[in-house]
Amino acid sequence: MKFTFAHNNFNVLDLEKSIAFYDKALGLKVVRTYEPEDGSFKLAYLGDGTSPHKLELTWLRDQEEPYNLGDNEFHLALETDDMKAAHALHTEMECICYENTEMGIYFINDPDGYWIEIIPAGKY
């Protein structure tokens, strides 16, 4: 028996705002959506165009309060082939929330407060 990663999920308050953020900050594009007839939720699957792994963004119609992320100890990590350009973009977007210069990595946060680790390609 073998298992492979399919997707990770983040619940979001504003689906369109989150889709725009992930597109601008990380180049992730919507590859599939789903919405039931009753409109109680919407799913948007984002992909990087290279790997099969997806980020599923879930919007729930009845959710009005921000999600409790606890200590926010979980995160996604994405590699980049150009740390300097990525850092400049994320600085401009004012979404860098933590930097570890000794390790050569940093984290950005999305509109709902989820952390995304940015690492140089091939380093970790």
CATH number for the domain spanning 90: value is 3.10.180.10
More confident residue, 73 or 15: 15
Phi, psi (rounded to 5 degrees) for 98: -160, 140
- Please indicate, yes or no, if residue 68 is contained in any of the structural domains: no
What does pTM read for this prediction? 0.92
**What is the number of structural domains in the chain?**
1
The range of the structural domain enclosing residue 42 comes to: 7-61+74-120
**How many other C-beta atoms lie within 10 A of the C-beta of residue 2?**
3
With 0-12 / 13-18 / 19 or more C-beta atoms within 10 angstroms meaning exposed / middle / buried, residue 67 is: middle
Residue 67 in domain: no
Confidence of residue 45 (pLDDT cuts 50, 70, 90): very high
The pLDDT score that the predictor gives to residue 2 is 81
Catalytic site residue 117?
yes
Q: Please check the confidence at residue 33 and state whether its pLDDT lies above 80.
A: yes
Whether 1 maps to a domain, the answer reads no
Active-site entry in 35, 37, 94, 117: 117
